[in-house]
Amino acid sequence: MKWTENIYPIKELATGETLNLKTYTLCGEKPGPHIHIQASVHGAELQGNAVILQLMELLNTTKISGSITFIPLANPYATNNKHGTYTYGRYNPVTGHNWNRNYIDIIKETNFDFKKFLTKHQGQSWEKIKKAFKQELENLFEEYIQGLMNKKTLSENNKLNLLLQQLSAKSDGILDLHTGPVATRYLYAAEYEKEVAYFLKFKHILLIPNEFGGAMDEAAFMPWINLFKALEKAKIECPKDIESFTLEFGSEETFCMQSASKDVESIINYLKYKGVLAGTPDQIDCHYCLLKDYKTIYSPKGGLVDYHFAPGDRFFKGDNLASFYNLKNIDPLAPISSSRSTIVAQEDGIIINRCPSSSVHQGMELYQVMTKLHEHSGVQ
Amino acid sequence: MKWTENIYPIKELATGETLNLKTYTLCGEKPGPHIHIQASVHGAELQGNAVILQLMELLNTTKISGSITFIPLANPYATNNKHGTYTYGRYNPVTGHNWNRNYIDIIKETNFDFKKFLTKHQGQSWEKIKKAFKQELENLFEEYIQGLMNKKTLSENNKLNLLLQQLSAKSDGILDLHTGPVATRYLYAAEYEKEVAYFLKFKHILLIPNEFGGAMDEAAFMPWINLFKALEKAKIECPKDIESFTLEFGSEETFCMQSASKDVESIINYLKYKGVLAGTPDQIDCHYCLLKDYKTIYSPKGGLVDYHFAPGDRFFKGDNLASFYNLKNIDPLAPISSSRSTIVAQEDGIIINRCPSSSVHQGMELYQVMTKLHEHSGVQ
Amino acid sequence: MKWTENIYPIKELATGETLNLKTYTLCGEKPGPHIHIQASVHGAELQGNAVILQLMELLNTTKISGSITFIPLANPYATNNKHGTYTYGRYNPVTGHNWNRNYIDIIKETNFDFKKFLTKHQGQSWEKIKKAFKQELENLFEEYIQGLMNKKTLSENNKLNLLLQQLSAKSDGILDLHTGPVATRYLYAAEYEKEVAYFLKFKHILLIPNEFGGAMDEAAFMPWINLFKALEKAKIECPKDIESFTLEFGSEETFCMQSASKDVESIINYLKYKGVLAGTPDQIDCHYCLLKDYKTIYSPKGGLVDYHFAPGDRFFKGDNLASFYNLKNIDPLAPISSSRSTIVAQEDGIIINRCPSSSVHQGMELYQVMTKLHEHSGVQ
Amino acid sequence: MKWTENIYPIKELATGETLNLKTYTLCGEKPGPHIHIQASVHGAELQGNAVILQLMELLNTTKISGSITFIPLANPYATNNKHGTYTYGRYNPVTGHNWNRNYIDIIKETNFDFKKFLTKHQGQSWEKIKKAFKQELENLFEEYIQGLMNKKTLSENNKLNLLLQQLSAKSDGILDLHTGPVATRYLYAAEYEKEVAYFLKFKHILLIPNEFGGAMDEAAFMPWINLFKALEKAKIECPKDIESFTLEFGSEETFCMQSASKDVESIINYLKYKGVLAGTPDQIDCHYCLLKDYKTIYSPKGGLVDYHFAPGDRFFKGDNLASFYNLKNIDPLAPISSSRSTIVAQEDGIIINRCPSSSVHQGMELYQVMTKLHEHSGVQ
């Protein structure tokens, strides 16, 4: 068991200081999968770092097969960016880009030739193909980044995102630790990895298509989705044993070691499932919702909002989800009823995220909710 | 009983729209004091508006002596100013000025002549002197504002603050409704009004000197402090029955009508004390802290913070108030202990405010705490 | 000749005020095309409003055929959004979205059935088909917006952008007035409208594909591109006489009526070309650059930048475009040379945009430049 | 001649990186005064750094008496703070504090005992008294900072400002390099140092009282002002040969080495005056304005502004300084005149600063102007 540390410069600031990523890698004595765990790509989403600390602590008292790389504070520029006491960490303050929509579909960008790749590795075992493909991925990123640098077209967004993709290229499991604004704990999982998702022991699972939309989890699984398709086309069977998840650990701006000691169980269980840790993984009762049934409720008016439901709460069609108060329209003879309007649930669901402010302009996101839930029993 | 509404334009925006203050005034049938209640001078501090709504509602079912003016959303420009989902409402985004440090000491600015005033009103009753002084104050603001306008030197800060001062000039009680960042409920009271402060039924009272520091409460009481001094010098006794308080109703970005139905009791009790509402006011057990014993604990390092105490919590010398984690300095063999440092309480106290983010740079405010508490019994 | 004004509420603010769009439409006595002109969708890009004022002024002294709609300050929320003295007007401060990437491809979104449409209008003249298609577009927006409202899924971005699309649905010419950061005057034109673009008399033309990327100009021409394709497939000829352009009038944060009196000539000439104004349009010598040859030069380092070229300047391969100074790396014995690095042009070109700050982090945009210019002679 | 470099950590960021000040000190072989030169305490004010580079370069080819310390980029946190492409560098983004109003009057804060000091150094030469007082100042800062650290009350503002004061405590000349927003070049000088100010060769001089207002120049001269008074009271004569100036080198966000090669002449001439450089200093024709005659013109309305005067321009009573356009109030039959209002100069003056945006809310600063100029001839 051995820890290795690496430092990667990611942004030289105007004043000459350099912000770095620091990675901590633990290699077990026995072979096994490689797991990549990063936190805080959105700068205000801190809890994943507490989870990483708890997991690193625990790994010093056990043995692993394979290896794990940790990248806490994966976007220091975003975490350090304060407007008032809050962290403006979701978007690049200079370009407006969402830091988790800047990844690339390397296969598509480089027009990777699967036919040639499969021909080259014809008849080989899945383990060998997998290893070769990981190497291809790493090379693709190496070349791609170098190409942008040569052309002076490596932007401040791309650099960080491409580095994270490159560092995770050889992984069998990629865990991107996020949080919501004011949020419950929930998991993003792609449809192809649904059965594995249950081992992450989240109560709420958001099932997304096996498609690319710019996020890390998608960027990590897309090459494999494409490889699986190519293999299927070539009628070669394979176990689809590479996963990529986004884990949402509650609310932003929050760092709590006590909660982390419970949050970490999700990852420990997954590591057991992957064989990195010894032991039998289990599952809990949970439910999933398809992306198309994950709804954002936008504010139909401007005003001060009294939220009647908290993240994690279940609600039913007809429930009053929130009351709005327009304080420029008070009839003083009936001040409350005259200034108030309400938002009524159109269908049953569960609150997942909530806007962190009670002061909202028309059209802002109030809630994100899961509807049309599919139940899954943890007893197997 | 009659409601009157008034609209005051306070800022024409670049695009030509105008932001307004709207005041709602209730006049009782019997004479009595005038009370001025405003909320949200700091744009993200919303709960006072819920309290105002609850109080307006209640006043429609009772009778008052005297009159009350309500100004909800007293600073719409600040409330509307979003950076991300949060409201950048404490400072003017253009000038950096704290919206509650821009008021003026009108007596000092205009060099008001108390000698002349007292000579003119020699031998009159306190009620008459009081009425005359209120009129003087209103005139002073009228002239002062007009003077700035004539010289084109009315800045965007001054206009709002001066208007609020002018509107409150004839009041016997001025209640400025605020909140902290993440905070408990507490009250700012000046030393001269300590005995009245107990009737606002806050558990935590911060006792400030009878001096000017730029805030609304101070700006409202300073003319009276000066009048009291002038009267004392002239050996005329008077009851000092004009008060001005800042009421802190919990945390910013929060608007909760249910909590407000309890918060409003503070003001109802004060209105009973003032004779605006019928009934006998009561008190609760509470404590006060002198301003010099109200301490800000600044972050001695940068890092992610795990806050171990919540606003309202009592702590003792030697307690670990918060743990800091520097994730660039992790020793992977002892990840938690190597990255952690702690903040230890130097003396006993109560947490009043807490920074709303767990991501802090060195030197940021972590906590504001009351120390050296003076207990007061509510049983009289 | 008659002016009509309309007001469209677009955002109710948290404090209850409503921001509106105001449109000014001039109808000529003779029939003719409809032209839609809007400015300031990016909040800090002001010069288009000066151009609109100049054009409105001029139209009171002449006669037009057809009609023109003006929308000055098309995004008041963005124009009013100050951080410091500057306007944070390019991105929605709450969602990070670029205000000019939020438009929709209505044909694609609604899966419009061209086959059905062409069958219905078989054998009709182009004028009739055009009129019918405009009506279809207006209906599509009407239904689309209503659908989002019914589902409470009309976000703050969508509302503004969809309204602008709806208002422009029946236009024959759409002019979206923008500026760059620190910029020269230049024009975005689609390939299909290249020959018309010359009549806008810009010296620098950026030729973009006939494709959708989220901007207003694209959103406006995409339905017509699709109709043209459908007609071509059906072997029906038509003149492609609907255009949509983005006009870039210099630098942001600038409003200059004197420059506007010259800027307006671009539009006057286009109105002559369209037959809205009487007179013969002319052209000037100009050049165009394909989008693929429009290059962004990103900062390879962080530092203080001394820009050696201004927008509008021509540069040649090997020129020193900018010098960087890293003031943490000064060798005091050779302070300038030790702290300086340079950016050398990789090919010939013209500076179009420049970053407005000399303080840049690694990866920020320094310049946008046109390369591989195609010359066009204004003499016909 | 020897250069010394020192690094001072000033802020550990949330992610663990530390921002540092780096000082470069040149010691001449012959004794002489010590000069302290710092730039960019306001983060967007960059030109002083170019001036420093030019001066450092030049000093390598000449000889000095005494010593000079340079602190380029004296506030890296502020310089690195981007909102959009602009730098939010004037105010601490977390606390709203103006970075150049956070200095302290160390004499007042520590209640320094001049009587005791003068008794101790009775009968000594001015050179000896001066040296002793510098040492006292340095000790005062050392103790003061240590005291705050012990009480955990060293805020993020204080730390930087106190360090800069401490580093400059032993200086005979303190030059604080700033810029305005959009500005001409001008100098802040205190009344007591007026005759020396002419040697800085600025055309526009703003003469401020010998009083404290929180800025660096004042913080640097106040201890000496107090010493001069104490000496005067004790009837001891002394030459008042310690100066402190704020030099305003044009506009923010700008870094231009070519302009700096001219800007540096101000400082070179001052160094000659001080005897640090050899040669005879000269003067230019210039004028000064008293602080009370330095006027800010606030925007009387909201709107788009067409500025008719540039920094450095002279204007006369009755001149139209700027036109405002309210685009929500256009009468389309007279679009320009109906939407326009103007700002007319109330007296003669010179434009010094201008707001960098043409989009202004009511009450924002439009211009800062010098009035009632006092001319000074450079020929002696």
Reported as a pLDDT band with limits 50, 70 and 90, residue C380 is low
Is residue C24 a contact partner of residue C57, using CB atoms and an 8 Å limit? no
Q: Residues 186..245 of D with a Cβ closer than 8 Å to C: which?
A: none
Which of C304, C323, C337, C354 to mutate against chain D (most D CBs within 10 Å)?
Answer: C304
Which H/E stretch holds residue B104? none
Helix axes B126-150, B216-233, angle to 10 degrees: 130
The dihedral sign for the CA sequence D238, D239, D242, D247: positive
Nearest CA to D79 out of C304, C218, B239 is that of C304
- In this prediction, residue A328 carries a pLDDT of 87
Q: What value does the mean pLDDT of chain B take?
A: 96
Is residue A48 a contact partner of residue A82, using CB atoms and an 8 Å limit? no
Q: What is the per-residue DSSP string for B233-270?
A: HTT-------EEEEEEEEETT---HHHHHHHHHHHHHH
User: Does the pLDDT at position B156 exceed 80?
Assistant: no
Q: CA-CA distance, A197 to A375, in Å (whole number)?
A: 13
- Chains in contact with B, where contact means 3 or more Cβ–Cβ distances below 8 Å, are A, C, D
In order of start, what are the domains of chain B with their CATH numbers? 2-284 (3.40.630.10), 294-371 (2.40.50.100)
Structure tokens at C376: 């066009």
Q: CA-CA distance, C315 to C351, in Å (whole number)?
A: 8
Nearest by CB to D17, which of A19, A82, A84?
Answer: A19
Q: Do A156 and C295 touch (CB under 8 A)?
A: no
Determine the residue of chain C that is closest to A305 in CA distance.
C14
The dihedral sign for the CA sequence B277, B281, B285, B286: positive
Determine the residue of chain D that is closest to B92 in CA distance.
D96
Q: Do C328 and D22 touch (CB under 8 A)?
A: yes
Which H/E stretch holds residue D379? none
Structure tokens at D379: 């020929």
Assign D181 to helix, strand or coil: coil
Structure tokens at B232: 């004392």
**Residue range D246-303, pLDDT digits in tens:** 999 999 999 999 999 999 999 999 999 999 999 999 999 999 999 999 999 999 899 9
Structure tokens at D264: 């540096």
Is residue B56 a contact partner of residue B22, using CB atoms and an 8 Å limit? no
User: Does the pLDDT at position C151 exceed 90?
Assistant: no
CB proximity B19 to C under 8 Å: yes
Q: CA-CA distance, D298 to D308, in Å (whole number)?
A: 15
> For residue B184, which amino acid is it?
T
Report the C-alpha dihedral over residues B373, B374, B375, B378, rounded to 10 degrees: -120
Report CA-CA distances (Å) from A193 to A289, C15, C142, D73: 14, 46, 40, 51
Which residues in chain A are closer than 8 Å to D20, comparing Cβ atoms?
17
CB proximity B375 to C under 8 Å: no
- In this prediction, residue B282 carries a pLDDT of 97
Share of chain D above pLDDT 90, in %: 94
Assign D204 to helix, strand or coil: strand
Nearest by CB to B94, which of C17, C73, C85?
Answer: C85
User: Does the pLDDT at position D150 exceed 90?
Assistant: no
User: Does the pLDDT at position B157 exceed 80?
Assistant: no
Q: CA-CA distance, C135 to A41, in Å (whole number)?
A: 46
Is residue C324 a contact partner of residue C340, using CB atoms and an 8 Å limit? yes
Structure tokens at D198: 């002419």
Q: CA-CA distance, D134 to B294, in Å (whole number)?
A: 35
Q: What average pLDDT score do residues D194-204 get?
A: 98
Structure tokens at C272: 């002559």
Q: Do C152 and A297 touch (CB under 8 A)?
A: yes
**Residue range A175-201, pLDDT digits in tens:** 999 999 999 999 999 999 999 999 999
**Residue range C99-128, pLDDT digits in tens:** 999 999 999 999 999 999 999 999 999 999
Report CA-CA distances (Å) from D197 to D69, D193, D216, D267, D281: 20, 6, 16, 11, 12
Structure tokens at A43: 């700068």
Q: CA-CA distance, A58 to B335, in Å (whole number)?
A: 9
- Looking at residue B30, the DSSP 8-state letter turns out to be E
Strand order in the sheet with C303-307: C340-344, C320-325, C303-307, C359-360
Q: Residues 348..367 of D with a Cβ closer than 8 Å to C: which?
A: 355-359, 361, 364-365
Q: What average pLDDT score do residues C29-44 get?
A: 97
List CB contacts of C130: < 8 A, sequence separation 6 or more: C242
The dihedral sign for the CA sequence B324, B326, B329, B331: positive
**Residue range B91-148, pLDDT digits in tens:** 999 999 999 999 999 999 999 999 999 999 999 999 999 999 999 999 999 999 999 9
Q: Do A17 and D15 touch (CB under 8 A)?
A: no
Q: Residues 50..89 of B with a Cβ closer than 8 Å to A: which?
A: 50, 53-54, 56-57, 60, 72-73, 79-80, 82-88
- Chains in contact with A, where contact means 3 or more Cβ–Cβ distances below 8 Å, are B, C, D
CB proximity B14 to C under 8 Å: yes
**Residue range A334-343, pLDDT digits in tens:** 999 999 999 9
Which residues in chain A are closer than 8 Å to C157, comparing Cβ atoms?
363
Say if strands D204-208 and D286-290 run parallel, antiparallel, or are unpaired: parallel
Q: Do A304 and B255 touch (CB under 8 A)?
A: yes
List CB contacts of C217: < 8 A, sequence separation 6 or more: C174, C176, C188, C190, C208, C244, C245, C246
**Residue range C314-340, pLDDT digits in tens:** 999 999 999 999 998 899 999 999 999
User: Does the pLDDT at position A149 exceed 90?
Assistant: no
Q: What average pLDDT score do residues B80-91 get?
A: 94
Burial of A380 (0-12, 13-18, 19+ CB in 10 A): exposed
Q: CA-CA distance, B46 to B129, in Å (whole number)?
A: 37
Burial of A310 (0-12, 13-18, 19+ CB in 10 A): exposed
Nearest CA to A38 out of A151, A164, A213, A211 is that of A164
Distance from CA of A53 to the nearest CA of C (A): 30
Which H/E stretch holds residue B47? helix B47-59
Reported as a pLDDT band with limits 50, 70 and 90, residue D380 is low
Global ipTM: 0.94
User: Does the pLDDT at position D1 exceed 80?
Assistant: no
> How much of chain C is helix, strand and coil, in % rounded to 5?
30, 30, 35
- In this prediction, residue D329 carries a pLDDT of 84
CB proximity A336 to B under 8 Å: yes
- In this prediction, residue B380 carries a pLDDT of 67
Nearest CA to B13 out of C178, C18, C164 is that of C18
Determine the residue of chain B that is closest to D91 in CA distance.
B96
Is residue C212 a contact partner of residue C190, using CB atoms and an 8 Å limit? no
Is residue C291 a contact partner of residue C368, using CB atoms and an 8 Å limit? no
Structure tokens at B353: 């405010």
Which residues in chain D are closer than 8 Å to B328, comparing Cβ atoms?
15-17
The dihedral sign for the CA sequence A360, A362, A364, A369: positive
Q: Do B13 and C80 touch (CB under 8 A)?
A: yes
- In this prediction, residue B206 carries a pLDDT of 98
Reported as a pLDDT band with limits 50, 70 and 90, residue C56 is very high
**Which of A244-253, B224-233, D91-100 has the weakest average pLDDT?**
D91-100
